[in-house]
Structure 1
Amino acid sequence: MSAQPFVVADVMTRKVVAVRPAAEFKEIVAAMERWKVSAVPVVEDGARVVGVVSEADLLLKEEFHDHRLGMVEQWRRIDATAKAGSRRARDLMTSPPVTVSPGASLPQCARLMAARGVKRLPVVDASGAIQGIVSRADLLKVFLRPDEDLAAEVRGEVVELLFPLSGDQVEVRVDAGVVTLSGPIPDSALIPVAARLARAVEGVVDVRCRLAAERSGG
C-alpha cells in the first residue's frame, strides 16, 4: 500500500490564539506577547476567519508615531496610514486573509507562504472556520522523522516498486535524513528515477545514489 503524503493537517498547531474584530490594539499586542506569536487570526461568528493581524500591521503605529507625511506620500500609503491611526482588529487586520486548507500538501503550503511573504497561515475548512495554524517551523517537522521510518518508506515506495524481482539486492541506508541507495539493479535507466522518488519521500534531506546496472554474464 502506498504511503499517504503529509498534508497540512499532519503538522499544523491545533491550539489557536485568535482575536475578535473588536479587540483593542493593546489586547492584540498582549496576546502576541503572551503566546509568542507574530500574527493572530481575527475570527467572527464563532470561528470564521475574516482577517489576520500581524506584527507588521501593528508596527505601522510606531512607524508613523512622530513622522508627518506629505499629501503625496499619504496617498501612496493610504492603507498603511489608515492602519496606523486604527486601534481595533477590524481596522488593523489584513483582509481577505490568506488561508490554507487542512488537506493541502506541504509543498503547496510552502509555495503559498513564499508567494505571499507570510510566516504563518490560518488553516480553515470549507466554511472558513479555523482548524489550526501552520507556520514555517511546522512545515519542517517532517524532517524530524526517524531514520528507520524513512528507510522503511524508501524500501516500500521506491525499491520494491522499481525492482520487484531484485529489490533484495538493493541496500537502503539512512543517516540523519540522508538516504544512500546501493547495489546492483537490472536497468541503469532506473537509477535517476530511484533517486527522484527517494528524494520525494517526506522528511528526506538528500539522496546518495550508488546503484549500478548488473553486468551481463558471459
Structure 2
Amino acid sequence: MKLVVVSAGLSVPSSTRLLADRLAGAVTGRTSAEVQVVELRDLAVEIAHNFTNGFPGRKLAAALDAVTAADGLIVVTPVFSASYSGLFKSFFDVIDPDALAGKPVLIAATGGSARHSLVLEHALRPLFSYLRAVVVPTGVYAASEDWGAEGLPERVERAAGELAALMTGLSTARPATTAKDEFDVVPFAEQLAALRPAG
C-alpha cells in the first residue's frame, strides 16, 4: 500500500509539514503503507508553467503520478485569507478531474488562530467532494496554540484510524444486527383510533 502526503507549507521548518508527518506516522502505525511526501513548495514554478503551457514538468509529473496511484492521501494546507493556499488549490487544479474518484483522503490544515478551523468544512471538504474522493469524517485543524495542548493528538489518532480503515478495506460502521426489534410497531392509524373519544 502507498500513502501519499501532500504538504503545502511554505516555510522550513513548517507547522504544516509537522502536522502532515504526525498524521502520516499515525496512519503507518496502523498499516504497512509506504509513505511518499509531496512538498508543493518545491513544485511551485512547474505548477505555474503547467497553467501557461499545458504540460507538467518532470517533478510535477512524478508528483501527479504518485497522487493518482496512491491508496490513500493526507492533504495539509496552511490557511491563507480564510481558505486553503493558492498553491494548494493550483496543484489540485492541474490533476485530472477523475484521478481522485473513490480515493480515501484525510484533510488537515494549520493556522495562527482557532477562528479559521472551519476551513476544513467550508473549503477543503467541498473541494475533495467535488473531486469525488472519499473524505474521512474527522478533519484535523491545528492552530498555533494547539501544539502541545490536549485534543490535537486525539484528533490525529482518530482521523488516522479512519483513513487506515478505508485504505485497508475495513469498515468502521457497526455490524448489522439480525435480532428482532425489541418493540412492537403499532400502525399510525391504530394509534389515532385509540385517541378518538368513545361514543
Q: Same fold (TM over 0.5)?
A: no
Higher Cα Rg, which structure = 1
What TM-score range do you get, normalising by the shorter chain? under 0.3
TM-score under structure 2 normalisation?
0.22
